[in-house]
Structure 1
Amino acid sequence: YGSRILAQGDNIPKDQMYPMRLKGISICFSMLKAALCGNYVNFGVFRLYGDDALDSALHTFVKLLLSIPQSDLLVYPKLSQTYYVLLECLAQDHMNFLSTLEPNVFLYILSSISEGLSAIDTMVCTGCCATLDHIVTYLFKCLHQKSKKGTVDLESDALVRVMKHQPSILQQMLATVLNIIMFEDCRNQWSMSRPLLPLILLNNEYFGQLRQQIISQQAPDKQGAMAQWFDSLMEGIEPNLLTKNR
């Protein structure tokens, strides 16, 4: 089905895009999510027996995703819900696959998460927070492992390459999460707080700059209190992601 949809090209009229393409893709995303999260099979068995069905399905998902203009992901509610729920499932259980994607693909995914953090749909926003938490936790562990073991070649890891060459996207997400928690009517504060610590630890220097920027934007009589709140936030925090530290 995915191959046939992709073979249609871009000749579909804009007003027919959802019924002729996006609706079917959304159903595929929903089916794949159900298959991956249903605990039907041990996925390690596929590689053990040389069965490429799982890899084929995951790569088809990527191709289908890249065929969708990013702006459409949040325009169509059913599509956005199935996409972000599937993405959360992949980030939770299949980071090894996501980490092998090309940097431009991963940038697309990270960018879609960044957009979803500000979504009106609470389900989408909550899913983005969980997905972001899985991704930045994985990245932190990769980099921490590298620093402990010395020279470990992680250039094959797309996520590490993205972090090295375009750190601004994670910095932007840190700013977005912090801004939503502090200044907006945040309906899912606990979910928003989940990726906050790994984002801070990965962008420690930028967090310091962001802290000063936020403090300086406050009224002079409130700057001291704001600085104290930031100090309290990081009090006793160690550079790890242990449950107690979180």
Structure 2
Amino acid sequence: MQLSKSFLSKLSKAYYGYMEVLFNNHITINSVLNLDTSTFVHIVTSLESGLKGLDTGISTQCASAIDSLAAFYFNNITAGDNPPSPAALNLARHIGELPSLFPQILKSLFEIIIFEDAGNQWSLSRPILSLIMISEQMFSDLRAQILASQPIDQQQRLSQCFDKLMTDVTRSLEPKNRDRFTQNLTTFRHDFRAK
């Protein structure tokens, strides 16, 4: 039995819509964090795949879900002062078992911002900041990787673009800080693409 493209499109939209609601509104009681690591990684990897799809609506939903996950990690593990909740401990365990998960998603987001004409740049900026806040080292490593992949004569200019990206951005996920980062990311994208 072959499924129609229309049916698959509706199914994808329903799945990613459900994931967005699940990660945005129910993460602290989220059974996704209680799953085994391979299942958890499969779900999060599906969100990364949705980011790369041609459907802007699905990409936006995936960005929102990833942002909720990364913000939860930042607020409860990276910057958390209180003992972590069971949900936070589960998330830390998952990431500990696959430490490349967040760096891979951050790389995918930067590739979309830099090399594609995404119509949902604002939405994509949200998880980028949350992931950068989780680990400055992760961002520094990705920056070096992106710069090394560019022509030598472009690297200094691109390095300056990266320097400006974090101008006046503090280590928080407050709305004003997110907006400042989004503005910087728009400038970064424009300057990075300028030849």
Q: Tell me the TM-score normalised to structure 2 length.
A: 0.80
Q: CA deviation at 1:220?
A: 2.6
Contact 1:102 1:158 in 2 (8 A): no
Distance 1:233 1:156 in 2: 29
CA distance in 2, matches of 1:182, 1:106: 28
1:136 alignment partner in structure 2:
70
Matched, 1:214 2:168: no
Note if contact 1:84-1:127 (Cα within 8 Å) is conserved in structure 2: yes
CA-based RMSD of the aligned residues comes to 2.3
* Secondary structure class of the residue paired with 1:137: helix
Q: Which residue of 2 aligns with 1:8?
A: none
Q: Which amino acid aligns with 1:226?
A: L
- The Cα offsets for residues 46-105 of structure 1, whole Å up to 9 and x where unpaired, read as xxxxxxxxxxxxxxxxxxxxxxxxxxxxxx211110000111111111112323333233
Which residue does 2:104 correspond to in 1? Answer: 172
- Structure 1 letter corresponding to 2:56: T
Name the stretch that deviates more: 190-199 or 236-245. 236-245
Aligned residue number for residue 54 of structure 1: none
Q: Match of 1:241?
A: 173
The ranges of structure 1 where at least 4 consecutive aligned residues each deviate by more than 4 angstroms after the TM superposition are 151-156
**More relative contact order, 1 or 2 (CA 8 Å, 6+ apart):** 2
Match of 1:85 among 13, 17, 36: 17
Q: Return the alpha-carbon distance in structure 1 between the equivalents of residues 49 and 59 of structure 2.
A: 9
Query: Does residue 56 of structure 2 align to residue 112 of structure 1?
Result: no
Scaled by the length of structure 1, the TM-score of the pair is: 0.65
> Hey, what's the Cα distance between the residues in 1 that align with 2:34 and 2:9?
29
Equivalent in the alignment of 2:94: 162
Are the counterparts in 1 of residues 76 and 84 from structure 2 also a CA contact under 8 Å? no
> How far apart, CA to CA, are the structure 1 residues paired with 2:96 and 2:134?
11
Specify which of 160, 170, 186 is matched with residue 228 of structure 1: 160
- State the 1:152 CA deviation: 4.4
The structure whose Rg is larger is 1
Q: For residues 213 and 79 of structure 1, do their structure 2 counterparts lie closer, same or farther at Cα, with a shift above 3 Å needed?
A: same
Q: How many residues align?
A: 175
> Residue 143 of structure 2 contacts residue 162 of structure 2 at CA under 8 Å; is this kept in 1?
yes
Runs of at least 5 residues in structure 2 that lack an aligned partner in the other structure: 179-195
Equivalent-residue separation in structure 2 for 1:144 and 1:167 (angstroms): 14
C-alpha contact 1:117 1:125 (8 A) present in aligned 2: yes
Measure the CA separation in 1 of the matches of 2:132 and 2:107. 10
